[in-house]
Amino acid sequence: MKEINALAAEYLLPGHTACPGCGAAVAIRHVVKILGKNTVFVIAASCFSIIAGQLPTRAFALNVFHSPFASAAAVGSGLKRGLQALGQDDIQVVVLAGDGGTFDIGLQGLSAAAERNEDLIFICYDNEAYMNTGMQRSSATPLGAVSQTTPQGKKNAKKDIMQIMAAHKISYAATATAAFPHDLYAKIEKVKKIKGLRFLHLLCPCPAGWGIGSNETITISRLAVECGVFPLYEIVQGELFLNYKPEKLLPVKAYLQRQRRFASLPAEQINVMQADIQNYWRELLSKISTGNNPFS
C-alpha cells in the first residue's frame, strides 16, 4: 500500500465537470492516485471526454489522448508500442472507456488487443448506460432498468464482460468499486506490475441516470456488492479468486429500491432477479480456485 503522502497527490483535479456525486469521477480519482504520474490516458468518447476538460483548461494532471469510440484499444496499443520504440517503456498506457465503449462499440478493438496481449491497462467504468448522450441502454444495462431507450424496463440481461475477457486468457481481470477503496488500491498496484493486457471492471453509479442522490454513490456501490449484484473478484491466468465474501447476501430489493430506474419493477420480477442472483453466486462460488493467487 502506498504511503499516505503519495496518496495525497491529486491527478484528477478539483473543478472537473462531472455531475455532483459521479461514481466514475470518484473511482477514477482514486485510480489515478495509485497509477501516478507516469501514466497516459486514452479516453474513448464518453462522459470522461467531458470530465477531462476542454482545452485550454484540463482536469487531469496527466497526458490524455481523446480517441474515437470504437478504436480506443487500438489507439492505446499504437501509443504503447510507440513509447516502447522510444525506450519509454516505464510509461503506463491506460485506456478508459464507459460500458458503451467497452461492452458494445469498443469490444472488437478490445478483443483484438487482448488476443495480441498488448501491454495495456483497460479500465471500463461501468455506469450501465450511454450516459453522456442522455442514458440510452447498453449491453451493460441491467434487466428491468428504465432508460431513454427502454422506457418499460430493459428486457435483456447484462452481458458478462468478465467472462468474455477471461475467455481471452489475459493475465489479469478484476472487478472493483470505490466503496471498497483498499481492494481497489490493491488491484491498481497489481495491474501496474503485471505485463500484457490487464482489464478492470469498475462499477460506477451515476446519480443522474440511476435516479439516486448525489450523496448515495458509495452506499449504492456497497449495496451492489453486499446484495451479490457485483461481486469483487479477480481472474488471474484463468483462475478465479473472490476478494470479498459477504457473510450473508442482502436481499437485492435493498439495492433496487433506492434507484428510480427500477421504481416500476413488479414484485414478481424482483423475485426472479433474486433467484438469478442466488444461481449466479452458486456458480461463482463453484468456480473459485483452490490454488494460490500468484499476484497476492
Ligand X SMILES: Cc1ncc(C[n+]2csc(CCOP(=O)(O)OP(=O)(O)O)c2C)c(N)n1
Q: State the number of binding residues for ligand X (CB under 6 A).
A: 15
From 26-34, 52-60, 108-116, 201-209, give the range in contact with ligand SF4 by CB under 6 A.
201-209
> Which residue from 67, 71, 77, 127 is in contact with ligand SF4, where contact means CB under 6 A?
127
Classify residue 250 by its DSSP letter: P
With b meaning 16 or more CB within 10 Å and e meaning fewer, what string describes 207-244?
bbbbebeeebbbebbbbbbbbbbbbbbbbbeebbbebe
From 42-50, 114-122, 195-203, 237-245, give the range in contact with ligand X by CB under 6 A.
42-50
CA torsion angle 137 138 143 147 (round to 10): -10
Whether residue 123 contacts residue 29, with contact meaning beta carbons closer than 8 Å, is answered with no
Quick one: which of 122, 132, 119 has its CA closest to 164?
122
Near ligand SF4 in 11-40, by CB under 6 A:
18-19, 22, 24
DSSP string, 56-76: T--SBSSEEEEE-STTHHHHH
**CA 287 – CA 259 distance, rounded (Å):** 31
150: number of Cβ within 10 Å: 19
From 6-14, 124-132, 152-160, 271-279, give the range in contact with ligand SF4 by CB under 6 A.
124-132
Classify residue 213 by its DSSP letter: -
Residue 18 binds which entry of ligand X, ligand SF4, none, with Cβ cut-offs from 5 to 8 Å by kind? Answer: ligand SF4
Question: What is the maximum alpha-carbon separation in the chain?
Answer: 59
Classify residue 171 by its DSSP letter: S
Using rule CB under 6 A, residue 114 touches ligand SF4 = no
Residue 22 binds which entry of ligand SF4, ligand X, none, with Cβ cut-offs from 5 to 8 Å by kind? Answer: ligand SF4
Residue 133 binds which entry of ligand X, ligand SF4, none, with Cβ cut-offs from 5 to 8 Å by kind? Answer: ligand X
Binding string, residues 92-131; x marks residues near ligand X by CB under 6 A: -----xxxxx-------------------------x--xx
Using rule CB under 6 A, residue 91 touches ligand SF4 = no
Using rule CB under 6 A, residue 208 touches ligand SF4 = yes
Enter the C-alpha cell of residue 126: 461501468
From 179-187, 200-208, 230-238, 240-248, give the range in contact with ligand SF4 by CB under 6 A.
200-208
Site residues (CB under 6 A) for ligand X? 45-47, 69, 97-101, 127, 130-133, 138
Site residues (CB under 6 A) for ligand SF4? 18-19, 22, 24, 47, 127, 131-132, 206-209
